[in-house]
Structure 1
Amino acid sequence: MDYTMGIDVGTTSTKCVLYDLNGQIIAHADKGYQLYQTKPGMAEEDPEEIFEAVIKTMQEVLKNIDSQSLKFVSFSTAMHSLILMDDNDRPITKAITWADNRAVKYSDELIKSGLGAEIYAKTGTPIHPMAPLSKMLWLKKEHSDLFDRAKKFIDIKSYIFFKLFGIYKIDYSIASATGMFNIFNLKWEPQVLNLLNIEEARLPEVVPTTNGVTGISEKYQERLGIGSDIPFVFGASDGVLSNLGLNAIDPGVVAVTIGTSGAVRVVVDKPVIDPNGNLFCYALTKNKWVVGGPVNNGGIVFRWVRDQLFDSKVSYDELTKMANEVPAGSKGLLFQPYLGGERAPIWNAYARGSFFGLTRQHTRSDMVRSSLEGIVFNLYAVMCLIEKITGKPVSIQATGGFARSSMWRQMLADIFDQDVVVPESFESSCLGAVVLGMYAQGYIDDLSAVKDMVGITEIHHPDPKNVKVYQELFPIWQRITHALEPEYKQIAKFQDR
């Protein structure tokens, strides 16, 4: 039997899945790593810990097969990471992740100057501290010793490929999420290079997502037990590959993901820019682009609810059961889920969470349901922005940890007022990486072949009674968000003293 391998390098763990050529899972492995947050706003990871997670998960899924039957390896990785490499090709920083907010001052300055809007119009990356552009401005201004020492500014996938092959390359998809890459001519943007005062040579070479390389170093041939002729396909970012792995690549088919964070995304056939700068546009391939918005506050909010309002020993299933006994709308209790600042739809790193409408009659069960509704309201607010550009969706493909909960899936259908389809394969980014790899290596002629691989476990239809409740409450929820925005920065400053 022939096998393919998809590797998803995420924020909290690396997942490696071995598939057959029909997209059926043969084996899988998962290894987590630490997020370092020892300073305010800091969110870093050790690139060596991540690299070792890649190697060990590969070893795990390869141990029971003949390595010669492995046809290729293809990658999905989280976006917006930044690592500085010195003249000896060693990292002089950890991997600064999308969740790191320390560059907020410099993203604010870009926005206020008007330069941010110019850059966004070329790059499709919203101006925000998540982006490597903002991170590099911060390092240049506040850690010039590191900035000046850097031979290369790279991402975590580039680091992995350098370790394996000794090359510095970055795919179109990851590059299009840096805030430094022109998505219309597929080149590093000169305006940004001038702003940072760096030469293009200090950035990786940009290659199509379908590019692959062979010739893995002897050290890792031995550790993995594979030959040097195995192609490693660069692949793309986790977000756009999730769309592919969900079969959400046709017009009007929207992917909604809620894991630790979340996102709403739809595929278009050419780069599209939001006039207000609130949506991203990232590459999947040269003729498929993904428009959408990422949110910081997904399942991590649910974890906070469990740990702070209950006990960490209480299971998530128990909490969702409690929430399911509360009527839609949580008896008029609304929750702003901004516990970790926010990206889309408000792009405010200072945003903070709140309950609104709380009375003595409300219970902890009401608060649980309200918090879940707040997460989905926020995702629906992103969908409203996308609709203005791409039109009304025809269906929703749902994935992420939340998709395992029938209650959450029904809530999504009711708030979005759309059918929600839940694919059989939960590891959508790994499957997306493999499908892209199959296309790159000539095993399939078109990405639409994914439709025969994803499967469907369930379809949820909107409940008209609940839809009516949510359509009444959502405008109130939005007005609360806008009313509180002027105060977010002040309360954040108070909290950071």
Structure 2
Amino acid sequence: MSLLLGIDLGTSSVKALLMDIDGRMLGIAQEHYDIDVSRNDWAEQSPEKWWAAAARTIRKLLTDTGADPRSIRGVGLSGQMHGLVALDAAGRPVRPAIIWPDQRSKRQVDRINDVMERMSLAGETMNKASTGFALASLLWMQENEPEQYAAVHKIVLPKDYIRYKLTGRLASEATDASGSVAFNTRGRQWSYPLIEALDIAGTIFPECLEPLDIAGEVTTEAARETGLYPGTPVVCGGSDQCMQAVGNGVVEPGWVTSNIGTGGQVAAMVSNPIYDPQWRMNTFCHIFPGSWVIQGSNLNSGLALKWLKENVLQAADFNILMEMCSHVDAGSEGVLFLPYLAGERTPHMDPAARAGFLGMTLKHRKEHLVRAVVEGVVYALRDSMELLGQQGIAADKVIASGGGAKHSVWLQCQADIFGKPVYTTKVKEEACVGAAIVAGTGVGIYRSISEGCNQAVALEERYYEPDQRHQELYDHYYGLFKQLYIRNKELFTNWTKNH
């Protein structure tokens, strides 16, 4: 039996999945870890801990399934976007990775965007810098940690580090590199004019490959740590958003995906390199040359519900929260939640934005807080859905993925707030499956990504239609939701100056 291995390095856990070439899943293993928030606005993780967790997860998967490592024809990778992994000449991290929710680089973001505007690079980068993007974090290192910066030999994105530990090859690929903002997204190569204008040596950026390229083979050392067979081909893979799209079968224009993970994204594949001139959204490279993805990104999706679960309600698991939700009517009886716990990207691009509940009275209980958080997350995603429409991108059907595809409360809420039918696939770990499909295509098992998706991905028969009564109510509350930020923007800015 020929098998494919997909590895997804997420923000809260690493997952490894084994499937056969027809998409039948043999098993999945997972290990969780935390974000280190040692200072206000900081978000870091240890690359060494990523690798240790990934190695244990792969070994556990092989043990649990009893699969022969020699039957694995290819390994593919997916990973959290934007983070900075800075390595010395020996390939060791010089400091913890600065990951995407990090907000420390506000001043560096302004510097990058000023240079980009002066050099008229918008049509190439197709993105404006944001806090948490690798280039902004690298500039922060340059200005605040000169000794560590001087030791940097190469930088990579998070999942690139796992590939390096598997193969010994330091490289990035276009989907993830385009999320660094140091990249010519139109031309699928590093933006050396921008890099050099910021007084950064271009040599610290690694070679940039394509998602379907074979980056190398599992080394003897990596085989010893993971249980994989030495010489197994490792295909580059891509960013988690790109791999989730593949795992959902979205490899041609026409569908919109709504992903609720730690962060949230609404995204569409496009065949023309369009971008939002107001910089409220991002455009990144997609799975092959001539394809891009335009998306709105929210920093506080599953993260907001996790915050409520752990820091407020101290609930045992998310299923308890979903059960609580089911006992509260749509609209949370007037409670609104602004979910900007870590600032926000789309549509505000405002690291100073903050979270809060509004409309609470003595009658409201903890169940209302849970439902308000769920609804607030989806309201924020609707901001992105509406911006796609402004770009002329039709969004008649939505495929939900991530944690937001795992419970009917999330799915019906998305259908009602978006006002569109919401579908799910039979695949439950979309990023892992996408990485496995890319691996299978890269090593020649599938003749194309489309063929791989046709064999491995299928829609669930059940889908969720908008409830007209709920839709009208949500339209009203969505208007109030948008006003919450607008009316408090100045207050948020003044608040963060003193906190």
Normalised TM-score (structure 1) = 0.94
> How do residues 109-120 of structure 1 correspond to structure 2 at under 5 angstroms?
109-111=111-113, 115=117, 118-120=120-122
Name which of 436, 439, 445 aligns with 1:437: 439
Letter in 2 for 1:41: D
Q: Which runs of 5+ in 1 are unaligned?
A: none
Residue 86 of structure 1 is matched in structure 2 by 88
Partner of 1:198: 200
Instruction: Give the residue type in structure 2 aligned to 1:483.
Output: R
Q: Tell me the amino acid that sits aligned with residue 493 of structure 2.
A: K
Kept in 2, the 8 Å contact 1:76–1:237? The answer is yes
Structure 1 residues 184 and 307, CA, compared in 2 at 3 Å: closer, same or farther?
closer
Q: Is 1:460 matched up with 2:467?
A: no
CA distance in 2 between counterparts of 1:141 and 1:367 reads: 41
After TM superposition, give the deviation of residue 466 of structure 1 in Å: 0.8
Distance in 2 between residues matched to 1:394 and 1:171, nearest whole Å? 31
- 1:212 and 1:234 in contact (8 A); partners too: yes
User: Which position in structure 1 is the counterpart of 2:488?
Assistant: 484
Amino acid paired to 2:267: R
Q: How does 1:340-419 map to 2 (within 5 A)?
A: 340-419=342-421
- 1:448, CA displacement in angstroms? 2.4
Equivalent pair of 1:120/1:127 in contact (CA under 8 Å): no
Please state how far the C-alpha of 1:222 moved relative to its aligned partner: 3.4
Structure 2 counterpart of 1:470 = 474
Q: Which amino acid counterpart does residue 10 of structure 1 have in structure 2? A: G
| Stretch moving more, 300-309 or 331-340 | 300-309
Change (3 A) 1:19 1:121: same
| Residue equivalent to 1:54 | 54
Which piece of structure 1 moves more, 157-166 or 468-477? 157-166
Distance 1:220 1:40, change over 3 A: same
Which residue of 281, 284, 298 maps to 2:283? 281
CA distance in 1, matches of 2:146, 2:179: 24
Output the amino acid matched with 1:246: N
1:108 aligns with 2:110: yes
Note if 1:304 corresponds to 2:310: no
Instruction: Indicate conservation of the 8 Å contact 1:119/1:179, yes or no.
Output: no
2:351 maps to amino acid: A
CA contact (8 A) 1:350 1:488 kept: yes
1:85-164 maps to which residues of 2 (within 5 A)?
A: 85-111=87-113, 115=117, 118-164=120-166
Structure of greater relative contact order (alpha carbons < 8 Å, 6+ residues apart): 2
Q: State the one-letter code of the partner of 1:257.
A: N
Does the aligned pair in 2 maintain the 1:242–1:428 contact within 8 Å? yes
Relative to structure 1, is the Cα distance of residues 13 and 177 closer, same or farther in structure 2, using a 3 angstrom cutoff?
Answer: same
Which amino acid counterpart does residue 158 of structure 2 have in structure 1? I
Question: Is 1:237 the counterpart of 2:239 in the alignment?
Answer: yes
**Cα distance in structure 1, aligned partners of 2:364 and 2:223:** 60
Question: 2 CA distance for matches of 1:294 and 1:420?
Answer: 19
CA distance in 2, matches of 1:446, 1:48: 34
Aligned to 2:33: 33
What is the match of residue 256 of structure 2? 254
Alignment of structure 1 residues 179-190 onto 2, 5 Å = 179-190=181-192
Shift of residue 219, structure 1, vs aligned partner: 1.8
Q: CA deviation at 1:330?
A: 2.2
Confirm or deny: 8 A CA contact 1:125 1:131 kept in the other structure: no
Moved more, 423-432 or 483-492: 483-492
3-state DSSP class of the match of 2:463? strand
Alignment match of 2:497 (pick from 469, 493, 497): 493
Alpha-carbon separation, structure 2, partners of 1:305 and 1:221: 40
Q: Is the 8 A contact 1:117 1:277 kept in 2?
A: no
For 2:4 and 2:408, how far apart are their aligned partners in 1?
Answer: 31
Structure 1 stretch displaced more, 45-54 or 363-372 = 363-372
Q: 1:364 to 1:99 in 2, by over 3 A?
A: same
Q: Return closer, same or farther for 1:378/1:92 CA change in 2, 3 Å cut-off.
A: same
Letter matched to residue 325 of structure 1: H
Q: Distance in 2 between matches of 1:112 and 1:192?
A: 11
Q: List runs of 5+ in structure 2 lacking aligned partners.
A: none
Shift in CA distance, 320/61, structure 1 to aligned 2, threshold 3 Å? closer
- Per-residue Cα deviation, 1:308-346 (whole angstroms, up to 9, x for no partner): 553434x53343333333322223322211112112221
Is the partner of 1:492 in helix, strand or coil? Answer: helix
Count of aligned positions:
494
Q: Distance in 1 between matches of 2:332 and 2:358?
A: 11
| Alignment partners' CA distance in 1, 2:486 and 2:435 | 38
TM-score when normalising by structure 2: 0.93
Give the aligned partner of residue 7 of structure 2: 7
The 1:333–1:222 alpha-carbon spacing in structure 2 relative to 1, beyond 3 Å, is closer
Is the Cα–Cα contact under 8 Å of residues 217 and 234 in structure 2 kept in the other structure? no
**Partners in 2 of 1:11 and 1:141 — Cα distance?**
26
Partner of 1:325: 327
> Which letter does structure 2 place at the counterpart of 1:280?
N
